[in-house]
């Protein structure tokens, strides 16, 4: 599809029995880094193939989550197919799963069973609350996980008590966060495997990923440095920073210093109302009434500005005000274009598509989509023959 | 000198024997170091009195017990070097010569000005893995810009997708972003270790904080490129589940509920003792519920309102309906399940003796990395780094301290 460049994980084989976005995203991260990820799909296909949006009958979600992977179909409830999985695992470096313990148990894929049959295998399992959690808790979905981990309750900042906590962007934010930790740990453990020949069990809790991402705020509460509370604003920083509507979209303003304030006043042409604020109000007089008064005045001014020209002028003036970019803004954004973040490609079913790339540009082993997500069972013969 | 491998502080774990040197500040960079340290790597943080990690100053307390700093930097080693002196820079380069990975998140251009750019460092350590974390990455028309986490979330496309329906998209909480950037930096470094293991070759990793946030909305952006349908901030809307949202309970509590099929829908109505809802033609099928979801949310909210959030969500889960209380900071800090599972654990603390920390999201078995020591005092590991790692004599080190090269 595209010229082959060296890949960081070349030579590593990962078997993916995962069937949710968390495990599949971990698999995608590894596959995009060059591991050979063999996706084991149930007859009829992975559940994510049935999730929208669809185009020409195919799932765009599946096409995103499964780039660079291979597909085989196995009915893991059937002894013959289950034995084939063991043969695949015998020549693999890692197994990536995201099922509940009961499922793993009934398919011979518990921690103990896998460790016994395949001592030189990294076995990673991603679940909502980690191994040993009560079964009822493990049915939780991403919106439950992001609520259980605290980010929903505190998002957006300044949400009043009568408005619902939010799930975050899209459908799977907590899954993607967990996928990052799962991929990181699986790779670290595969390094140990290469050095010692020994496998390891890796247990990832999606909720604990959520907790870890807020370490320097929540831990200060845990340690008693500040008081935890039932306040929706407990994670907030205070200050006037927030999103504002402008003439053609939205901007985000962040302001904490007198330099920021002085620069903003100049940018606005020093309107009279700014004279009511102390020059150092952001540092020493940043009260709720002052923030409210500032926003009331600023809202009227910014509403008449266009997001790109005004944020460009702001950056030059030293004001941390940026456009709230939309999906349409990014592919034509000069920095995204320069860094070739989006990879334009031809997809066999969708036609022209733009794959969002990785956030890390690696000089020796660039991440890229080498092959689109596989058709169901596309690699059945080749893969199973190799394992027989 | 003994074999370099013998000098490592051995805590077990998958990255045992990997040495990281970091020039990191605030949150994203230190978080990357923490992730690697929690996996068993030996992570040496370069600091100095004249160039402190701001986190040591937050809160206005003494630099060795600043809560922000303590909450991130467990199992990190601290060495003092004054990088404003030529001798100090030379010592930094010698440390890098002993390291596998170098991570920085200092201002764009600062590494280059100090001669710590990848090309120069390669002559010291040919197989070095260097990861630079910048808001926009290291180059490009906007590569010079710096920014704060809510700014890069806004620039990334993520903020535009988070908000209550029909309102200005406010994005995730203002704290969101830095830690995820650090996690992705750690991930890229470990990927590069594999490449080095295979080929002996190091590399430069150029990490963009904005793109990290963009990668979290990758499926929405890809779907847009396929279908042309513009994703927008959508509250708690889910195109394939309904109800799907957070519903008010007693006091100021909320519980999250996600219903994917008819069985779950009927179970929800049963737990809420609402046969009328189950029989209501407006809500008969998923398509009906989606079409009338605002009416449905209002009806459900009235039904959940009198319930205790914890009891209701447990009852729902036991009936097969995914539900969980929306946890506040006090809920999280006092949660018995999280404490029992060691999501929180204790480490040593120079002042208080011990300190609870938020442990890693993973458990590994066998051979997990030990995580026992809290954040380091400034320069706590000077002797280890200068004497054992670089092989300086005691008088040489004393002299460097007297001349404030070690400062």
Query: CA of B400 to nearest chain A CA: how many angstroms apart?
Result: 34
Give residue B309's pLDDT. Answer: 98
Domains along chain B?
4-216+344-402 (3.40.50.10540), 244-328 (3.30.1540.10)
Mean pLDDT of A45-52: 98
Question: Residue A350: which residues within 8 A CB-CB, separation 6 or more?
Answer: A55, A56, A58, A60, A63, B226
Using CB atoms, pick whichever of A33, A148, A353 lies closest to residue B327: A148
> Structure pTM?
0.98
Specify the 3-state DSSP secondary structure of B157. coil
Query: CA of A69 to nearest chain B CA: how many angstroms apart?
Result: 16
Query: CA of B218 to nearest chain A CA: how many angstroms apart?
Result: 6
> Rounded CA gap, B200 and A156, in Å?
46
**B208 chain-A contacts, CB cut-off 8 A:** 339, 341, 359, 361
C-beta atoms of A200 and B364 within 8 A: yes
C-beta atoms of A53 and B320 within 8 A: no
Give the per-residue SS3 of chain A: CCCCCCCCCCCCEEEECCCCHHHHHHHHHHHHCCCEEEEEECCCCCHHHHCCCEECCEEHHHHHHCCCEEEEECCCCCHHHHHHHHHHHHCCCEEEECCCHHHHHHCCCCHHHHHHHCCCCEEEEEECCCCCCCHHHHHCCHHHHHHHCCCCCCCCCCCCCCCCCCCCCCCCHHHHHHHHHHHHHHHHHHHHHHHHCCCEEEEEEHHHHHHHCCHHHHHHHHCCCCCCCCCCCCCCCCCCCEEEEECCEEEEEECCCHHHHHHHHHHHCCCHHHHHCCCCHHHHCCCHHHHHHHHHHHHHHHCCCCHHHHHHHHHHHCCEEEECCCCCCHHHCHHHHHCCCEEEEEECCCEEEEEECCCEEECCCCCCCCCCCCCCCCCHHHHHHHHC
Q: Which fold has domain A13-213+339-387?
A: Rossmann fold (3.40.50)
Structure confidence by residue, pLDDT tens digits, A170-224:
999 999 999 999 999 999 999 999 999 999 999 999 999 999 999 999 999 999 9
Q: What is the mean pLDDT of chain A?
A: 97
**A55 chain-B contacts, CB cut-off 8 A:** 226-227
C-beta atoms of B256 and A147 within 8 A: yes
Interchain contact A354–B (C-beta under 8 A) = yes
Residue B297 near residue B257, CB atoms below 8 Å:
no
Residue B20 near residue B101, CB atoms below 8 Å:
yes
Mark which residues 255-314 of A lie under 8 Å from B by CB: none
**B179 chain-A contacts, CB cut-off 8 A:** 212-215
Using CB atoms, pick whichever of A10, A143, A157 lies closest to residue B198: A10
Cα torsion B20, B384, B46, B395 to 10°: value is -140
Residue B288 DSSP one-character state:
H
**A170 chain-B contacts, CB cut-off 8 A:** 161, 217, 219-220, 231
C-beta atoms of A324 and B162 within 8 A: no
Structure confidence by residue, pLDDT tens digits, A304-322:
999 999 999 999 999 999 9
Query: CA of B78 to nearest chain A CA: how many angstroms apart?
Result: 19
pLDDT tops 60 at residue A123: yes
> Rounded CA gap, A37 and A39, in Å?
6
pLDDT tops 50 at residue A1: no
**B324 chain-A contacts, CB cut-off 8 A:** 137, 140, 144-145, 147-148
The ipTM value here is 0.98
Residue in chain A nearest B119 by alpha carbon:
A363
The tens place of each residue's pLDDT in chain B, 407 residues long, gives 334 444 677 899 999 999 999 999 999 999 999 999 999 999 999 999 999 999 998 876 789 999 999 999 999 999 999 999 999 999 999 999 999 999 999 999 999 999 999 999 999 999 999 999 999 999 999 998 888 899 999 999 999 999 999 999 999 999 999 999 999 999 999 999 999 999 999 999 999 999 999 999 999 999 999 999 999 999 999 999 999 999 999 999 999 999 999 999 999 999 999 999 999 999 999 999 999 999 999 999 999 999 999 999 999 999 999 999 999 999 999 999 999 999 999 999 999 999 999 999 999 999 999 999 999 999 999 999 999 999 999 999 999 999 999 99
pLDDT tops 50 at residue A252: yes
**B15 chain-A contacts, CB cut-off 8 A:** 188, 191-192
Mark which residues 116-175 of A lie under 8 Å from B by CB: 129-133, 136-137, 139-159, 161-173
Question: Which helix or strand (DSSP H or E) is residue B16 part of?
Answer: none
Question: Residue B48: which residues within 8 A CB-CB, separation 6 or more?
Answer: B80, B81, B82, B83, B88, B407
Place of tokens 């990832």: A204
Q: Which fold has domain A242-330?
A: formyl-coa transferase, domain 3 (3.30.1540)
- Paired with A94 in beta bridges are A14, A122
> Please, where in chain A does CATH 3.30.1540.10 lie?
242-330
> Rounded CA gap, B248 and A369, in Å?
44
> Rounded CA gap, B250 and A336, in Å?
46
Q: Which residue has the higher pLDDT, A39 or A384?
A: A39
C-beta atoms of B172 and A156 within 8 A: yes
> Rounded CA gap, B370 and A224, in Å?
24
Query: CA of A49 to nearest chain B CA: how many angstroms apart?
Result: 13
Give residue B7's pLDDT. Answer: 64
Nearest to A238 by CA among A222, A224, A226, A223: A226
Nearest to A290 by CA among A304, A301, A274: A274
Residue in chain A nearest B118 by alpha carbon:
A363
């Amino acid at each position: 599809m595209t010229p082959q460049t060296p890949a960081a994980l070349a030579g590593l084989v990962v078997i993916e029995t995962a069937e949710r976005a968390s495990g599949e995203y971990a698999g995608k991260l590894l596959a995009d880094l060059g591991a050979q990820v063999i996706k084991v799909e149930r007859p009829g296909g992975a559940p994510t193939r049935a999730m929208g949006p669809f185009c020409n009958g195919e799932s765009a979600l599946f096409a995103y989550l499964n780039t660079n992977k291979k597909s085989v179909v196995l009915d893991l409830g059937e002894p013959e197919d289950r034995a084939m999985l063991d043969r695949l695992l015998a020549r693999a470096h890692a197994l990536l799963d995201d099922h509940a313990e009961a499922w793993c148990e009934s398919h011979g894929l518990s921690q103990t069973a896998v460790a016994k049959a395949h001592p030189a295998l990294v076995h990673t399992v991603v679940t909502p609350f980690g191994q040993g959690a009560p079964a009822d808790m493990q049915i939780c979905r991403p919106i439950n996980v992001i609520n259980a981990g605290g980010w929903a309750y505190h998002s957006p900042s300044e949400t009043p008590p009568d408005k619902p906590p939010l799930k975050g962007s899209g459908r799977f934010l907590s899954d993607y966060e967990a996928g990052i930790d799962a991929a990181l740990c699986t790779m670290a453990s595969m390094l140990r495997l290469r050095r010692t020949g020994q496998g390891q069990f890796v247990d990832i809790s999606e909720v604990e990923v959520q907790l870890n991402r807020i370490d320097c705020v929540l831990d200060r509460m845990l340690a008693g440095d500040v008081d935890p509370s039932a306040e929706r604003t407990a994670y907030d920083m205070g200050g006037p920073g927030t999103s504002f509507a402008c003439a053609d979209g939205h901007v985000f303003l962040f302001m904490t210093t007198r330099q920021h304030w002085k620069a903003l006043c100049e940018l606005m042409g020093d309107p009279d109302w700014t004279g009511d604020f102390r020059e150092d109000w952001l540092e020493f007089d940043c009260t709720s009434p002052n923030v409210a008064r500032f926003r009331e005045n600023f809202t009227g001014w910014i509403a008449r500005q266009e997001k790109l020209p005004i944020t460009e002028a702001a950056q030059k003036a030293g004001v941390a005000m940026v456009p709230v970019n939309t999906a349409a803004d990014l592919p034509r954004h000069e920095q995204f274009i320069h860094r070739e973040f989006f990879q334009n490609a031809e997809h066999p079913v969708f036609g022209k598509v733009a794959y969002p790339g990785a956030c890390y540009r690696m000089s020796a082993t660039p991440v890229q989509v080498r092959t689109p997500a596989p058709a169901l069972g596309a690699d059945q013969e080749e893969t199973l023959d190799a394992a027989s | 000198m003994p074999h370099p491998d013998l000098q490592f502080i051995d805590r077990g774990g998958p990255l045992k024997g990997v040495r990281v040197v970091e020039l990191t500040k605030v949150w994203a960079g230190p978080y990357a170091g923490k992730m690697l340290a929690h996996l068993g790597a030996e992570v040496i943080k370069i600091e100095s009195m004249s160039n402190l990690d701001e986190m040591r100053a937050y809160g206005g307390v003494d630099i060795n017990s600043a809560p922000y700093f303590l909450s991130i930097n467990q199992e990190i080693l601290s060495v003092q070097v004054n990088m404003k002196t030529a001798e100090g820079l030379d010592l930094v380069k010698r440390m890098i010569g002993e390291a596998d990975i170098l991570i920085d998140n200092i201002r764009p251009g600062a590494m280059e000005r100090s001669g710590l750019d990848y090309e120069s460092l390669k002559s010291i350590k040919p197989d070095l893995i260097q990861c630079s974390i910048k808001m926009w990455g290291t180059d490009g028309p906007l590569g010079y810009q710096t920014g704060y986490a809510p700014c890069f979330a806004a620039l990334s496309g993520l903020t535009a997708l988070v908000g209550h329906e029909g309102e200005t998209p406010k994005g995730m909480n203002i704290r969101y972003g830095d830690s995820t950037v650090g996690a992705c930096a750690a991930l890229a470094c470990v990927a590069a270790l594999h490449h080095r293991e295979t080929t002996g070759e190091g590399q430069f990793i150029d990490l963009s904080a904005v793109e990290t946030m963009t990668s979290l909305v990758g499926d929405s952006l890809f779907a847009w490129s396929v279908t042309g349908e513009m994703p927008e901030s959508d509250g708690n809307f889910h195109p394939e589940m309904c109800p799907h949202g957070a519903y008010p309970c007693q006091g100021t509590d909320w519980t999250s509920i996600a219903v994917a099929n008819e069985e779950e829908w009927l179970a929800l109505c049963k737990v809420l003792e609402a046969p009328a809802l189950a029989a209501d033609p407006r809500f008969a099928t998923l398509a009906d519920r989606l079409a009338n979801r605002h009416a449905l949310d209002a009806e459900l909210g009235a039904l959940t309102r009198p319930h205790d959030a914890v009891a209701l969500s447990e009852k729902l889960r036991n009936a097969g309906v995914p539900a969980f209380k929306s946890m506040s900071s006090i809920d999280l800090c006092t949660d018995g399940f999280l404490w029992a599972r060691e999501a929180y654990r204790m480490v040593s603390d120079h002042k208080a003796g011990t300190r609870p920390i938020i442990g890693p999201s993973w458990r590994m078995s066998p051979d997990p990395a030990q995580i026992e020591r809290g954040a380091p005092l400034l320069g706590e590991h000077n002797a280890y780094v200068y004497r054992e790692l670089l092989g300086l004599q005691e008088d040489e080190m004393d002299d460097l301290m007297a001349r404030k090269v070690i400062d």
